[in-house]
Structure 1
Amino acid sequence: MIVPRFFLAIALPVLAAATSVLAVPALAQAGDLKGVVELFTSQGCSSCPPADAELARLADQGDVLALSYHVDYWNYRGWSDTLSSAASTERQYGYARTLRRKNVYTPQAVINGRDHVNGANETAIARTLDKLSAIGAGLTVDVSVESTDEGLSITIGPGKGKADIVAVYFDEQNKVEIERGENAGRTITYRHSVRDMETVGMWNGQTVNLKLPASVISAHPGRRCAILLQVVSPDGSPGRILGAARI
């Protein structure tokens, strides 16, 4: 469904390097992932449940970092999405600027910050991931993350360009009973819904070793964490994702 809307002036928050970390040791690296799929969805959109199911399948598949962003522009249709945020809507409109689109829609899947397809189309998502990898637009920079009791250690490998190091906090799953709106009466389990993001560092093509104290991750109790190495325009619009890792 196409939802026209005026572009929002946005800027990704550049916050201090304070992020909370999981207490269980873990290690992840960009080489483990084929790509990043970001789904823009809403509990109030009748076209979205098949895309939510596809996002869940990708999350279980394991070789893709699958993230779900619940937008808030459907909330006026009789049901306020319990996971929605203005920040998710702003991120989608930022991608619209980057991809030179005049509008946004749900369900939209943005892949590696470089292309988009209908989020319910499993074949299109797979083909786009393969196409981007074939032309060198996959995850080309190694990102590794290690979590210990002391905090989070992030290593970004060498490469070309400049990018932000972004921590993404998301829920493993949320089961929601939708009472009104286009999906009234349905109970849907949402996977990997993003609840917060913060920029924790910058990368300029050289190897970066970054340590975040455990107090930062503890500010997001019960949530999982992923790291994106993402190009961000001067106006804050998100762009190409060069690398990623998850805890």
Structure 2
Amino acid sequence: MRRMLIPALVLFPLLVHAEQWQSSNTQTDVIELFTSEGCSSCPPADAFLSSLKNRDGVFRTFIPMAFHVDYWNYIGWKDRFASSEYSQRQRRYARDGNISQVYTPGFVINSQEWRPWFRGARNWETSNEQVGNLTADLQGNRLKVYFADKTRNHLHVAYLGMGIETQVKAGENRGKTLTHDFVVLDVTTLPGEGEWQLKLPAAPDKGQQRTALAIWVSPTDSQQVLQAVGGYLE
């Protein structure tokens, strides 16, 4: 009798990519840059933010983020990273008294305007406020976040693009090749009371060499950053 050999089906466990980040009890410094590819004075500020990727403590003691605003798009170059939501974020800082006015480039550190950069400063006063741990556990596209403060807050999760280049063909930066890091590509916001579970959308593809996550918590009635954590996606 002829026997038919049936190949055995071997089941291997699916490998799910996992990342975990945890802040200390001390508030993580958050450096926000409001910028635009249509602004001729912005490239030096963008370059400074990019330089922070080489500093000790990036994503551990401080997290940089570049919010590209859309209010300069009308002058000849449409910034592909710009969002009206990011412009509104800056305007709300102005309304709440955190910054003096809306302008680019504009730095906000720990939710307060930081103008010493324009006078040559490249270091900021770090926070020593004790606010508790923020922990994030990423399994595939499933994110779990825990914050020591169990009051009702908002969780914000942003994809950041690293190593991006743009050849500007119009506007104030016409003919320049601009390089960007820590570019906010997308933000998801969710209310909660110290614990959050969510499914992240796919990271936008803007030609970045690497992608990172920035995760922070703020009160429901304010943009004040209470605590933040993040890191590169490997």
> What TM-score, normalized by structure 2, do the two folds share?
0.77
Contact 1:70 1:85 in 2 (8 A): yes
Q: State the AA in 2 paired with 1:97.
A: R
What residue in structure 2 maps to residue 36 of structure 1? 30
Cα distance in 2 between the residues matched to 1:221 and 1:44: 21
What residue in structure 2 maps to residue 95 of structure 1? 93
Q: Which runs of 5+ in 1 are unaligned?
A: 1-22
Contact 2:131 2:226 in 1 (8 A): yes
Q: Among 10, 15, 18, which residue is 1:25 paired with?
A: 18
What residue in structure 2 maps to residue 146 of structure 1? 137
Give the secondary-structure state (helix, strand or coil) at the position aligned to 2:80.
coil
Contact 1:33 1:245 in 2 (8 A): no
Give the secondary-structure state (helix, strand or coil) at the position aligned to 1:126.
coil
Q: Which moved more, 1:91-100 or 1:161-170?
A: 161-170
CA-CA distance at 1:197 after TM superposition: 1.5
Q: State the AA in 2 paired with 1:86.
A: S
Q: Structure 1 residue 227 and structure 2 residue 215: aligned?
A: yes
Give the secondary-structure state (helix, strand or coil) at the position aligned to 1:185.
coil
Q: Which runs of 5+ in 2 are unaligned?
A: 1-15, 206-210
User: What is the CA deviation profile of residues 174-225 of structure 1, one whole-angstrom value per residue up to 9, with x for unaligned ones?
Assistant: 210011111111111111211222222323xxxx33322xxx3243355532
CA-CA distance at 1:123 after TM superposition: 5.9
What residue in structure 1 maps to residue 195 of structure 2? 209
What is the alpha-carbon root mean square deviation over aligned residues?
A: 2.6
Q: State the AA in 2 paired with 1:55.
A: L
- Report % sequence identity: 30
Give the secondary-structure state (helix, strand or coil) at the position aligned to 2:224.
strand
Q: State the AA in 2 paired with 1:47.
A: S
Higher RCO, 1 or 2 (CA under 8 Å, sep at least 6)?
1
Q: Structure 1 residue 245 and structure 2 residue 229: aligned?
A: yes
Give the secondary-structure state (helix, strand or coil) at the position aligned to 1:43.
coil
Cα distance in 2 between the residues matched to 1:48 and 1:35: 22
Contact 1:36 1:111 in 2 (8 A): yes
> What TM-score, normalized by structure 1, do the two folds share?
0.73
Contact 1:165 1:200 in 2 (8 A): yes
Decide whether aligned partners of structure 1 residues 85 and 119 sit closer, same or farther in structure 2, where only a CA change above 3 A counts: farther
Task: Give the number of the structure whose alpha-carbon radius of gyration is greater.
Answer: 2
Decide whether aligned partners of structure 1 residues 100 and 110 sit closer, same or farther in structure 2, where only a CA change above 3 A counts: closer
What residue in structure 2 maps to residue 10 of structure 1? none
Matched positions, count:
206
Q: Residues 19-168 of structure 1: matches in 2 within 5 Å?
A: 24-31=17-24, 34-61=28-55, 62=58, 63-99=61-97, 103-113=101-111, 115-118=112-115, 120-121=117-118, 124=121, 126-127=123-124, 129-130=125-126, 133-134=127-128, 136=129, 140-149=131-140, 151-158=142-149, 162-168=152-158
CA-CA distance at 1:59 after TM superposition: 3.2
Cα distance in 2 between the residues matched to 1:150 and 1:84: 25
CA-CA distance at 1:108 after TM superposition: 0.5
Cα distance in 1 between the residues matched to 2:226 and 2:136: 15
